[in-house]
């Protein structure tokens, strides 16, 4: 799976969303959550292929605020860890 | 009568469309999940009467939560469906649309927030969208009323979709992607002031100072405007006009005796006393109208402003880390702030928290350490005359209790405390008319609740005094009140009334001639020992008997401990 993703995005590493710094942009390559949560994410516009930008990262392991096509979502770090991305 | 179900994702403006079509006022907020219970109304289309049901917002009809189950059942029972979708977020709304159309009910789609989508540079090809979905699509702007008439006429002639057939979840997402590619073009747009403000208010370095400023401003606004309303409007009305008139009127048919005392208490023309006379027509009206209402009005005005503007979700993000330490998460700030107005809506709003543990902690903390506006107004009124210091002691103690209890409860309450997952709506310019309507409806609601209960409370107190019950109770509770807490034994009346309503209970402290230290202790105990009856009933329903008993035990225990501690600190042993 990971190999396949690397082939799709040559030269770019697949990393968790938590590795992104405020202001950086990335493409979502996979959601690794349970079925229910994945569905919830998709209904919020968070899905494979979408471009995300980190707007803010709250201190003390607080939530990330991300922008997906103009929608802002606050997502806890534990959940964000399972969103895989490649940096742009 | 045929029924129409109004369905859509949360925060797409369903409730506004509902009130447009029925003329019934529904409270809408720029916050997802306002419609917890569903609302029904009727509407005429042509000369046929229809029943319109506002279904709670849901992202999907797959039953994974209570809200989704409710939505699905209501939808299946309806004759027609209006699916409201947000034109600015077409892609994520279409999944639900496909699920609805798969049910093969006669349906129409309201493409709401159409004006905002155009503003944002989002072009949607409505004709192609209609063709793909196989039903009518009407662009609407619920706030300004555009498209409402067309929507109503199309519902009557609605047909089930001929193009959409039941499909799997994966196929549905693919289909959504396909439709989006065919109908939507998004133009690049420049960053607006609102976008910049949105970013600045969630970045910790700028957001936290701004949040502190905002809260300070709100607090000062409520106090200053509330006080000004009392000084320049309500006190003149009560003392210059109403007071002399009512004393005269009552004296004309009951110059003395039980009826006189019950109606206007100890007030005379020469010494009008609205605070301590304990008459139904003096204190009974002055407390809700003259002391509490001004603060309730200013509080709800500010709350509605923050809600409609869209600030609350941002505040939730900023306080998330802190609230996690108390076993909650950022969204818990919403019930807490609502609780500052009235604990009843506060307790109901804990439903936005996902787990039982979170709801238990949020409700218990609120009942103990979040005083409602009615209570706060009375605390300002009776402690304010001794200086700001005493008010600060009360609130600092309550805040510390909130934190310490939260830290403890997080560890001892079993269950999960999940992470925050929250959509942050864009900032919207609040509509002044809606703002005033909301403030009015909240203030009106407050009066409806408060006036009868305050009057009942004063009636009960009068009876207790007349029949000498107060003396007996005072003797029974004297050991705890006097010896342990350092309060006069008459404070038992206030503690008893506090179960009915907290504002009048604090008012009952006035005639006891207490020192500021004693008043401070009494205010803290009155805030913490037990919720008022209205909050108790809601909490009982939300928590169940067992958890409510646990919460109540905690309240009594905490209240007594803090009372003793404050006695030692403020008065000494």
Question: For each of chain A's 88 residues, which pLDDT tens digit applies?
Answer: 555 555 555 557 899 999 999 999 999 999 998 888 888 888 888 888 899 999 999 998 999 999 998 889 999 999 999 999 999 8
Any domain includes B191: no
> Do B518 and B432 have their domain in common?
yes
**Residues contacting residue B256 through CB under 8 Å, at least 6 positions apart:** none
- H helix intervals, B78-168: 90-102, 114-119, 126-133, 148-156
Tens digit of each residue's pLDDT, chain B (573 residues): 889 999 998 878 888 888 888 876 555 555 444 444 567 788 888 888 888 888 878 888 876 666 677 778 888 889 999 999 999 889 889 999 999 999 999 999 999 999 989 888 899 999 999 999 999 999 999 888 889 999 988 998 899 998 999 998 889 988 999 999 999 998 876 677 888 899 999 999 999 999 999 999 999 999 999 999 999 999 999 999 999 999 999 999 988 888 998 999 888 888 888 988 889 999 999 999 999 999 999 999 999 999 989 999 999 999 999 999 999 999 999 999 999 999 999 998 898 898 999 999 999 999 999 999 999 999 999 999 999 999 999 999 999 999 999 999 999 999 989 999 998 988 988 888 888 988 998 899 899 989 999 999 999 988 888 888 888 888 888 888 988 999 998 899 999 999 999 999 999 999 898 999 999 999 999 999 999 999 999 999 999 999 999 999 999 999 999 999 999 999 987
Query: What string of DSSP letters covers B337-372?
Result: HHHHH-HHHHHHHGGGSSSHHHHHHHHHHHHHH---
A61 vs B330: CB contact, 8 Å cut-off? no
Please state at what angle helix B193-202 crosses helix B204-229, rounded to 10 degrees: 100
Q: Is B503 in contact with B375 (CB distance < 8 Å)?
A: yes
Taking CB atoms within 8 Å and a gap of at least 24, the contacts of B227-235 are B227/B294, B229/B294, B229/B297, B229/B298, B230/B290, B230/B291, B230/B294, B233/B294, B234/B289, B234/B290, B234/B293, B234/B294, B235/B290
The CATH number of residue B152's host domain is 3.40.50.300
**Residues contacting residue B445 through CB under 8 Å, at least 6 positions apart:** none
Would the ipTM clear 0.90, i.e. be above it?
A: no
B321 vs A62: CB contact, 8 Å cut-off? yes
**Which residue range forms the structural domain that includes residue B63?**
2-186
- Show the tokens assigned to B406: 């939260």
Any domain includes B159: yes
- Specify which residues A83 forms β-bridges with: A31
B421 vs A75: CB contact, 8 Å cut-off? yes
3-state helix, strand, coil split of chain B in percent (to 5) is 65, 10, 25
> Do B315 and B351 have their domain in common?
yes
* Model pLDDT, residue A78: 93
Report the distance separating Cα B6 and Cα B155, nearest Å.
Answer: 11
The C-alpha of B410 sits at a distance from chain A's nearest C-alpha, in angstroms, of 17
B420 vs A56: CB contact, 8 Å cut-off? no
The C-alpha of A79 sits at a distance from chain B's nearest C-alpha, in angstroms, of 8
Classify burial at B379, counting beta carbons within 10 Å of its beta carbon; exposed 0-12, middle 13-18, buried 19 or more.
buried
Q: Which value, in Å, is the radius of gyration of the alpha carbons in chain B?
A: 27
| Closest CA relative to residue B184, chosen from B236, B118, B257 | B118
> Do B350 and B408 have their domain in common?
yes
Report the distance separating Cα B125 and Cα B112, nearest Å.
Answer: 14
Mutate to test the interface with B, among A41, A64, A71, A72 (most CBs of B within 10 A): A72
> Do B485 and B562 have their domain in common?
yes
| Closest CA relative to residue A71, chosen from B69, B9, B410 | B9
Q: How far is CA B323 from the centre of its chain?
A: 19
* Model pLDDT, residue A2: 56
**Residues contacting residue B374 through CB under 8 Å, at least 6 positions apart:** B288, B292, B296, B342, B446, B450, B501, B502, B503
A65 in helix, strand or coil? strand
The CATH number of residue A81's host domain is 2.30.30.90
Q: Report the domain count for chain B.
A: 2
Mutate to test the interface with A, among B8, B9, B63, B204 (most CBs of A within 10 A): B204
Any domain includes B148: yes
Report the distance separating Cα A47 and Cα A68, nearest Å.
Answer: 9
B190 vs B91, B120, B193, B559, CA distance in Å? 22, 9, 10, 55
Any domain includes B373: yes
* Model pLDDT, residue B37: 57
* Model pLDDT, residue B258: 87
A70 vs B88: CB contact, 8 Å cut-off? yes
Report the distance separating Cα B342 and Cα B337, nearest Å.
Answer: 9
> Do B396 and B538 have their domain in common?
yes
Task: Establish how many alpha carbons lie within 13 A of residue B271's alpha carbon, considering only the half-sphere containing its beta carbon.
Answer: 5
A79 vs B419: CB contact, 8 Å cut-off? yes
Q: Is B433 in contact with B143 (CB distance < 8 Å)?
A: no
**Residues of chain B contacting A69 with CB distance shorter than 8 Å:** 91, 186
Q: What is the largest CA-CA distance in chain A?
A: 35
Closest residue in chain A to residue B93, using alpha carbons only: A43
**Which residue range forms the structural domain that includes residue A48?**
2-87
Any domain includes B197: no
Q: Report the domain count for chain A.
A: 1
Query: What string of DSSP letters covers B477-546?
Result: HHIIIIIIT---TTHHHHHHHHTT-HHHHHHTTGGG---HHHHHHHHHHHHHS---HHHHHHHHHHH-HH
Q: What is the largest CA-CA distance in chain B?
A: 84
- Specify which residues B7 forms β-bridges with: B83
């Amino acid at each position: 799976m990971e190999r396949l993703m690397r082939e799709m995005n040559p030269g770019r590493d697949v990393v968790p969303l938590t590795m992104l710094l405020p202001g950086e942009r990335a493409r979502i390559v996979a959601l690794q959550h349970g079925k229910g949560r994945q569905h919830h994410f998709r209904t919020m516009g968070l899905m494979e292929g979408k471009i995300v930008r980190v707007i803010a990262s709250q201190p003390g392991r607080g939530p990330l605020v991300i922008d997906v096509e103009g929608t802002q979502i606050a997502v806890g770090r534990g959940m964000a860890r399972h969103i895989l991305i490649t940096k742009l | 009568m045929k029924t129409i179900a109004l369905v859509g994702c949360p925060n797409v403006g369903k409730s506004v469309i509902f009130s447009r079509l029925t003329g019934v006022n529904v409270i809408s907020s720029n916050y997802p999940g306002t419609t917890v219970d569903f609302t029904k109304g009727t509407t005429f289309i042509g000369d046929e009467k229809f029943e319109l049901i506002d279904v709670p917002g849901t992202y999907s009809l797959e039953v994974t939560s209570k809200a989704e189950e409710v939505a699905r059942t209501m939808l299946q029972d309806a004759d027609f469906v209006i699916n409201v979708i947000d034109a600015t977020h077409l892609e994520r709304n279409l999944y639900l649309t496909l699920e609805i159309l798969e049910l093969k009910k006669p349906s129409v789609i309201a493409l709401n927030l159409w004006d905002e989508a155009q503003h944002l540079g989002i072009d949607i090809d409505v004709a192609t969208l209609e063709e793909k979905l196989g039903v009518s699509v009407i662009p609407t702007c619920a706030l300004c009323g555009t498209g409402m008439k067309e929507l109503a006429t199309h519902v009557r002639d609605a047909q089930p979709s001929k193009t959409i057939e039941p499909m799997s979840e994966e196929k549905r997402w693919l289909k959504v992607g396909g439709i989006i590619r065919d109908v939507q073009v998004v133009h690049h747009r420049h960053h607006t002031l609102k976008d910049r403000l949105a970013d600045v208010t969630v970045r910790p370095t700028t957001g936290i100072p701004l949040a502190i400023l905002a809260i300070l401003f709100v607090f000062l606004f409520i106090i200053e405007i509330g006080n000004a309303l009392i000084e320049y409007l309500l006190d003149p009305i009560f003392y210059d006009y109403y007071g002399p008139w009512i004393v005269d009127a009552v004296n004309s048919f009951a110059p003395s005796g039980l009826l006189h005392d019950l109606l206007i208490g100890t007030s005379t023309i020469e010494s009008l006393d609205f605070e301590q006379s304990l008459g139904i027509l003096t204190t009974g009206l002055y407390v809700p109208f003259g002391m509490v209402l001004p603060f309730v009005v200013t509080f709800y005005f500010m709350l509605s402003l923050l809600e409609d503007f869209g600030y609350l979700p941002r505040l939730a993000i900023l306080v998330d880390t802190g609230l996690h330490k108390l076993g909650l998460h950022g969204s818990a700030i919403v019930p807490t702030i609502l609780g500052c107005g009235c604990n009843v809506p506060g307790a109901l709003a804990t439903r936005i928290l996902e787990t039982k543990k979170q709801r238990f902690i949020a409700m218990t903390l609120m009942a103990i350490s979040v005083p409602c506006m009615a209570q706060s107004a009375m605390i300002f009124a009776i402690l304010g005359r001794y200086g700001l210091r005493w008010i600060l002691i009360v609130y600092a103690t309550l805040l510390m209790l909130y934190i310490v209890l939260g830290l403890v409860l997080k560890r001892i309450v079993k269950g999960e405390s999940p992470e925050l997952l929250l959509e942050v709506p864009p900032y919207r310019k609040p509509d002044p008319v809606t703002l005033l309507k909301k403030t009015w409806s909240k203030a009106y609601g407050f009066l409806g609740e408060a006036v009868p209960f305050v009057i009942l409370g004063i009636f009960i107190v009068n009876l207790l005094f007349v029949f000498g019950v107060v003396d007996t109770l005072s003797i029974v509770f004297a050991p705890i009140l006097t010896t342990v807490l350092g309060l006069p034994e008459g404070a038992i009346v206030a503690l008893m009334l506090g179960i009915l309503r907290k504002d009048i209970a604090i008012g009952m402290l006035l005639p006891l001639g207490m020192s500021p230290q004693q008043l401070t202790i009494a205010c803290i105990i009155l805030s913490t020992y037990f919720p008022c009856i209205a909050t108790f009933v809601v909490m009982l329903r939300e928590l169940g008997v067992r958890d409510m008993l646990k919460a109540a035990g905690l309240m009594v225990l905490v209240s007594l401990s803090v009372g003793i501690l404050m006695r030692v600190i403020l008065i000494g042993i």
